[in-house]
Amino acid sequence: MPAPTPRPERRFYAEDRAIGRFGMRLFEPRLMPTPHWHGHVEGNVLTGGSMTYRVEDQEIEIPPGRLVLFWANIPHQLVRLSPTGEEPLRLANIYLPLDVFLFMPHIARLQVVLLSGGMVILDPDLLPAGQVEAWYRDYRSGQPERREILYMELNALLRRSLLQPLDTLRVPMGNPEGAEHPQRTRVAHVVTMLRFILENLAQPMTNADVARVTGLHETYALSLFTQVVRMPMRRFIIRMRLLRARALLLESNATVASVAAQAGFPSLSQFYDHFVRAYGVTPQALRHNRS
C-alpha cells in the first residue's frame, strides 16, 4: 500500500515555519476516504457520539467528551461516526506542532509515549466544561498574549495528566516482553536524537554530533530523522533555537545578544536573519509587542 499523502487544505499543515503550525478547528466531522498524516501532535474532543480511527491495521474507538492525544505523523483514518441522541456531532481538533510539543517542559514521559505511537486518553476531570471553546476563542483572537496563555494552559493540562498512570487506547509500538519491533527501534533512535538536540541547544552542534548518540552511521541516522520527523535535522535544530529565543524574549529581560547566545546561534547577524524570516518581525519588535 503506498504511503498516504498529506492533505494541503489547511494552512497550518504548512512546513515553512515549523513542523506544521499551531491550529484549532471546531467542525462537524466527516469520514476520511484515505489515511493521512501530518507533523502535529493532535488532540481530539468529540461531542454528540463516538468515532473510530483506523491506525495501521487497528480500529480504535474514541468515546465522546474525552481528550485524546496522538502523533499524527502515524497514518490514521476516520472510518466510523456513531451519533448518540439528538445532539449533533461536533469535533474539536487541536494541532500542536511537534517542535512546540517537544519544547514543553516536564512532560518527557508523555512525549516518549506519543512519539512511540501511543494514543492517550485523558481523565475527563482534567478538562473542565467549556475549556476547549475558551481555547478556541484565544486561538481566534489574534492576540499573541492569549496564544501564549493557551500554550501554558495546554502544558499545565499535560503535566497534570502525568500525575496518574496514563490511559492508552493504543499502546506504544514494541513488544513489552522484550522483542523489539523494527518501527519502535527506529522511533527510539529518533527520540534519542530529539532529546540530545533539546538538551544541547545552546552548544555548537553538528549533524554528526547528533547522529553519534545513536551509534548509527551518520548518513543513515540523518535519513531516519528526516523520514520520521518529516524535516531535515539542520532545519529542525534552527526551528528549536528560534522557539527558545522567542520564549526568552517574551519571558525574560535578557539582552537580544544574550538571547541569541542562550538559544545557540553562533552570531547575532545569523540570529536576526533567521528570526525575521521565521516571525516577520525583529526580536526587539516582538518584545515590544508583548506589553
For 89, which DSSP code?
A: P
pLDDT surpasses 70 at 17: no
CA angle 164/81/1 to nearest 5° reads 90
| C-alpha grid cell, residue 270 | 545569523
Mean pLDDT of 265-289: 90
Across the chain, what does the average pLDDT equal?
84
CB 144 within 8 A of CB 290: yes
What is the per-residue pLDDT across 67-114, written as a single tens digit (0 to 9) for each?
999 988 777 899 999 999 888 999 999 999 877 887 788 887 898 788
Max mean pLDDT among 119-128, 191-200, 276-285 falls in 119-128
What is the per-residue pLDDT across 116-133, written as a single tens digit (0 to 9) for each?
778 999 999 999 989 999
Edge-to-edge strand list for the sheet holding 90-97? 23-27, 90-97, 40-47, 68-71, 119-121, 167-170
What is the per-residue pLDDT across 40-66, written as a single tens digit (0 to 9) for each?
899 999 999 999 999 877 899 999 999
Buried/exposed code over 155-192 (b: 16+ C-beta within 10 A; e: otherwise): bebbeebeeeebebbbebbbeeeeeeeeebeebbbbbb
Cβ-based neighbour number of residue 212 at 10 Å: 14
SS3 content of the chain, % helix, strand, coil (to 5): 45, 20, 35
pLDDT surpasses 70 at 183: no
| C-alpha grid cell, residue 277 | 524570516
Spatial distance between the Cα atoms of 252 and 283, rounded to a whole number of angstroms: 13
Whole-number pLDDT of residue 11? 53
| pTM exceeds cut of 0.75 | no
**Among 276, 278, 274, which Cα is nearest to 266's?**
274
Spatial distance between the Cα atoms of 252 and 81, rounded to a whole number of angstroms: 47
CA angle 105/115/65 to nearest 5° reads 80
DSSP letter string, 159-220:
HHHTTSPPEEEEPPSS-TTSPPPHHHHHHHHHHHHHHHHHHTTTS---HHHHHHTTTS-HHH
Spatial distance between the Cα atoms of 287 and 248, rounded to a whole number of angstroms: 10
Spatial distance between the Cα atoms of 52 and 220, rounded to a whole number of angstroms: 36
